[in-house]
């Protein structure tokens, strides 16, 4: 070991020559660099190791428990629908988890009951909200059906909504709409449209008398 190197290692900081000080700084950088490298490699390897079934169970149990609480105490109608859709997707994912614990099974069964039971209040409430959004808050007309009717008229500008009634089935909505407008002879006539829509408002069938 030469004198400068020995001084860099052994000497006190305030007694080092400029050359020894630079050598100590360079050495410290190397130690820091190569000392942190193994730690970094270990952290990367840990991140790459897949979670075991127990970890997955815990994650899904926590997610399910939170969704159950949010579904039972929704803040807004929009939030209720969003959480309901998340719950349906989570139920499907949880079916693929095997060798489950009691906590997992309880959360899974409770969540499925909330989103799949036909007599469940939450499912029915979500259905009502989805259907309500299909209709105009101004005059009660069905938004998509009104567009369809206007597109079929001789004079769409003459369209006048009279009344709309609807009935919710299992997964569809029956819609009855009365409207006025001018025909090919420019006479004002009243017609009725009967339509079937899905729960998202898409028209499945339309008949205009």
At 109-132, the pLDDT tens digits run: 889 888 877 656 888 888 899 999
pLDDT single digits (tens) 49-108 = 554 455 566 788 899 999 999 988 888 888 999 999 999 999 999 888 876 788 888 888
Q: What does the domain layout of the chain look like in residue ranges?
A: 3-48, 53-130, 139-208
What residues contact 169, with CB distance under 8 A and at least 6 apart? none
How far apart are the two ends of the chain, measured CA to CA in Å?
Answer: 104
Q: What is the pTM of this model?
A: 0.61
Question: Are residues 181 and 158 in contact, defined by beta-carbon separation less than 8 angstroms?
Answer: yes
Residue 167 burial (CB < 10 Å; 0-12/13-18/19+)? exposed
What DSSP state is assigned to residue 64? Answer: H
DSSP helix/strand/coil, 123 = helix
């Amino acid at each position: 070991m030469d004198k400068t190197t020995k001084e860099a290692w052994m000497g006190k900081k305030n007694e080092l020559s400029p050359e020894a000080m630079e050598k100590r700084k360079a050495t410290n950088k190397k130690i820091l660099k190569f000392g942190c490298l193994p730690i970094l490699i270990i952290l990367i390897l840990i991140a790459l190791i897949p979670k075991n079934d127990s970890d997955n169970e815990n994650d899904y149990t926590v997610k399910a428990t939170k969704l159950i609480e949010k579904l039972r105490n929704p803040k807004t109608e929009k939030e209720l629908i969003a959480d309901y859709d998340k719950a349906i997707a989570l139920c499907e994912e949880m079916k693929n988890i095997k060798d489950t614990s009691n906590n997992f099974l309880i959360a899974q069964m409770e969540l499925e009951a909330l989103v799949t039971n036909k007599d469940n209040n939450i499912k029915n409430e979500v259905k009502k909200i989805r259907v309500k959004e299909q209709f105009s808050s101004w005059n009660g007309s069905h938004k998509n059906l009104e567009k369809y009717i206007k597109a079929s008229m001789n004079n769409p500008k003459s369209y006048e909504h009279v009344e709309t009634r609807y009935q919710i089935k299992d997964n569809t909505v029956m819609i009855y709409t009365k409207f006025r407008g001018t025909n090919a002879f420019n006479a004002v006539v009243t017609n009725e449209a009967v339509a079937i829509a899905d729960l998202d408002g898409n028209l499945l069938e339309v008949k205009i008398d």
